[in-house]
A and B are shown apart, each in its own frame.
Chain A
């Protein structure tokens, strides 16, 4: 069992089984259904905006290093300090050093998936620093000693009753199971932490290379507090958060908030350009921006680079039929849902989440919902191929000279026709596994009409039953555990066609 997961298990399948069988979780998850309408509204109203946003994100990916250099120069110019971290360990060390230097006792954090990615909270707590998550959902899971289960709504797996009992462990007396009261209690309970914290830590939603402006969106105001009141603000930024121009926010920001929550703009958007200036009364004295790579640069130029276009809106989770059944903990990873199935094995170079890409029906709802048109379902299929080989997952660069056949392949579920999306399905040579051999043998037999006919006839003989259905078939018990298995018909279509051609049968 992995830490902080309400649906434990050794594999995705085990955790999913537990999730499906957990009635509280299933009840809580139904609250997410409202986001289906959000997704629909986005899909219907903003196709041009999506195209534009997709282009803007890929413009940056085409020269990620260059834009990062520009961003670093701009941040430095406006008085921020840039740190570059190649690995999560580097990033943790940078933050710990700053905390040490500051003699920090209390750190307030606003919601950031990147801090989860580097497991920053635990690192700070291990040296005796009080770390307070301030996003309500994030605070709930922190108090419950669990992990977030959704990147926008971290406690989506909990019902209101459960939330009240979790918060009660930090309260002086019983808390009412009532929303406004719980929100008010949170306000009063967490306010002192904001006032005493020496450091505020946030993520970054967008960082504009031209102006050095970092943008952070929240609804509660905790992001504003974390970046306003403590003396030091540390922003942890996965490198793909860079955008080319401040003006690009006009497109990207409303698209993010619309896709995430259906709001035309988040309740609070903070666009921060450097630390507090001379004689200003508040704002941090120091702003540190930590660029986190963690194997991201290695994706540029491969068929997977488009996952770096992700703006963390959560839409692909909200529409995913699998996520909607099992919730985030079943993925046992920082990032869950379709994008998490892709990012987890890639960022860990195949050390984590190898069974995640297979846990998809490839329905394409994620691809359709993604506001920046990442071909998520395609990337899942690519990962299935590239994860066949055991050992580290190191995708090879896409071949040069790929062209994007815009006009030919540009349907709702096809995503944005970016050249690397046209790369051949496998970027790594196949291993000699049993599975590979079986598929190879099958494809050889079925590439010959005679072989196909013979094997179909054999299957027909093996699977005769009066009803045409089987209740238990050991070879495919994954199917027959929940469903009857259809058997071959007594007469194939081609047999009937031949009978018709010869006049023996009329349709």
Chain B
């Protein structure tokens, strides 16, 4: 590996438009780990909303665009386990022939942020200092489709946070893209369960690695007042950076 890792940040459309602070925090974490961060400005969306809605033609269009934009880079890092999983899991099945080969090549160098720092670079100590109690929600696609595992916990603990595990940390929060709009009758109660489990830990923060899930949880929490503040782990750790 070269001394300085050059990393292309795929910030995701949700973070770019709704939660830019998570993008800022991701840059700060990567830079704290010694990376040089590049932001390919032509990036848009990975196409996941279309793929999961059963609109593969639209998803393939965005997949092609993503590959065109990110192909030149050595490493692609995203603060969303779900979007990283989209590239790993679905690009393969959206594209064929030569495009598929390109998709596989791009997927092989695409990482979720915590996974990249902890597993790829082996950098857990980023110089952040936190005095906080945190419970972690393992967002589904990062957990099950790309095996992110406990990387976010490792980073939080290295920054001095105390992790208090909640019941069913691996159970879905109820977001699920269009599901959360078409089936609010189930998505709402699932958010309630997640927030209640988090509340039971009495932790200050409910951290996770997917902004969309966090927005869904915060949206519910604004109605019920239950549960700790949902926050992206990168944003929380960045608060502890000098």
Q: Do chains A and B touch in the complex (CB under 8 A)?
A: yes
- Measured CB to CB, the residues of A under 8 A from B are 12-13, 16-17, 20, 36, 321-322, 325-326, 357-365, 367-368, 378, 381, 383-388, 405, 408-409, 411-414, 422-426, 430, 435-436, 439-440, 442-444, 446-447, 449, 452, 456, 459-460, 469, 476, 478-479, 481-489, 491-497, 507
List the B side residues contacting A383 at CB < 8 Å.
Answer: 54
List the B side residues contacting A444 at CB < 8 Å.
Answer: 61
Q: Does B189 contact A (CB under 8 A)?
A: yes
Expressed in whole angstroms, the Cα–Cα distance for A487 and B187 within the complex equals 19
Chain A nearest CB, measured from B107 CB (Å) = 8
- Contact assessment for A483 and B219 in the assembled complex, using a CB-CB cutoff below 8 Å: yes
Interface of B is mostly: helix
Chain B CB within 10 Å, residue with most, of A367, A413, A489: A413
Expressed in whole angstroms, the Cα–Cα distance for A211 and B188 within the complex equals 52
Given known pairs A17-B185, A364-B144, the reply for A447 and B44 (CB within 8 Å) is yes
Q: Nearest 6 A-B pairs (CB), nearest first?
A: A361-B176, A413-B144, A384-B54, A482-B188, A483-B219, A443-B58
Given known pairs A363-B176, A496-B20, A507-B27, the reply for A381 and B54 (CB within 8 Å) is yes
- Contact assessment for A361 and B187 in the assembled complex, using a CB-CB cutoff below 8 Å: yes
- Contact assessment for B146 and A365 in the assembled complex, using a CB-CB cutoff below 8 Å: no
Expressed in whole angstroms, the Cα–Cα distance for A443 and B39 within the complex equals 21
Given known pairs A447-B61, A482-B223, A486-B219, the reply for A387 and B174 (CB within 8 Å) is no
- Contact assessment for B51 and A492 in the assembled complex, using a CB-CB cutoff below 8 Å: no
- Contact assessment for B145 and A411 in the assembled complex, using a CB-CB cutoff below 8 Å: yes
Binary interface encoding of chain B residues 24-65 relative to chain A, with 1 for a CB under 8 A from any of its CBs, else 0: 100110000000000101111101001111111111011011
Chain A nearest CB, measured from B67 CB (Å) = 11
List the A side residues contacting B176 at CB < 8 Å.
Answer: 360-363
Can you identify 10 A-B contacts, CB atoms within 8 angstroms? A359-B183, A388-B55, A414-B145, A443-B59, A449-B41, A460-B17, A486-B218, A489-B20, A493-B24, A496-B23
- Contact assessment for A487 and B18 in the assembled complex, using a CB-CB cutoff below 8 Å: yes
List the B side residues contacting A488 at CB < 8 Å.
Answer: 17-18
List the B side residues contacting A17 at CB < 8 Å.
Answer: 185
List the A side residues contacting B27 at CB < 8 Å.
Answer: 497, 507
- Contact assessment for A36 and B42 in the assembled complex, using a CB-CB cutoff below 8 Å: no
Q: Does B150 contact A (CB under 8 A)?
A: no
Interface of A is mostly: helix
- Contact assessment for A426 and B58 in the assembled complex, using a CB-CB cutoff below 8 Å: no
Expressed in whole angstroms, the Cα–Cα distance for A439 and B175 within the complex equals 20
List the B side residues contacting A365 at CB < 8 Å.
Answer: 140, 144, 170-172
Binary interface encoding of chain B residues 175-211 relative to chain A, with 1 for a CB under 8 A from any of its CBs, else 0: 1111111111111111100000000000000000000
Total number of residue pairs linking A and B with CB closer than 8 Å:
243
Q: Does B233 contact A (CB under 8 A)?
A: no
The interface stretch among B90-98, B118-126, B127-135 is B90-98
Contact of B108 among A362, A408, A479, A489 (CB under 8 A): A408
Expressed in whole angstroms, the Cα–Cα distance for A378 and B180 within the complex equals 18
Contact of A364 among B51, B57, B104, B145 (CB under 8 A): B145
Q: Does B154 contact A (CB under 8 A)?
A: no
List the A side residues contacting B187 at CB < 8 Å.
Answer: 361, 482-483
List the B side residues contacting A409 at CB < 8 Å.
Answer: 88-89, 92
- Contact assessment for B180 and A479 in the assembled complex, using a CB-CB cutoff below 8 Å: yes
List the B side residues contacting A385 at CB < 8 Å.
Answer: 54-56
- Contact assessment for A481 and B184 in the assembled complex, using a CB-CB cutoff below 8 Å: yes
- Contact assessment for A482 and B184 in the assembled complex, using a CB-CB cutoff below 8 Å: yes
Given known pairs A443-B62, A460-B17, A478-B184, the reply for A483 and B144 (CB within 8 Å) is no
List the A side residues contacting B143 at CB < 8 Å.
Answer: 364, 413
- Contact assessment for B184 and A484 in the assembled complex, using a CB-CB cutoff below 8 Å: no
Q: Does B216 contact A (CB under 8 A)?
A: yes
List the A side residues contacting B45 at CB < 8 Å.
Answer: 446, 452
Given known pairs A36-B168, A359-B179, A411-B147, the reply for A440 and B57 (CB within 8 Å) is yes
Extra contacts besides A478-B180, A497-B41 (15): CB < 8 Å: A12-B183, A325-B186, A326-B186, A412-B144, A423-B93, A424-B94, A425-B51, A425-B59, A443-B47, A443-B59, A443-B61, A446-B62, A482-B188, A483-B222, A494-B16
- Contact assessment for A483 and B184 in the assembled complex, using a CB-CB cutoff below 8 Å: yes
Contact of B215 among A388, A405, A443, A486 (CB under 8 A): A486
List the A side residues contacting B17 at CB < 8 Å.
Answer: 456, 459-460, 488-489, 492-493
List the A side residues contacting B20 at CB < 8 Å.
Answer: 489, 491-493, 495-496
Q: Does B19 contact A (CB under 8 A)?
A: yes
List the B side residues contacting A483 at CB < 8 Å.
Answer: 184, 187-188, 191, 216, 219-220, 222-223
List the A side residues contacting B50 at CB < 8 Å.
Answer: 439, 442-443
- Contact assessment for A362 and B177 in the assembled complex, using a CB-CB cutoff below 8 Å: yes
**Closest residue on chain B to residue A412 by CB atoms:** B144
Given known pairs A13-B182, A16-B185, A413-B144, the reply for A446 and B44 (CB within 8 Å) is yes
List the A side residues contacting B55 at CB < 8 Å.
Answer: 385, 388, 430, 435-436, 439-440, 443
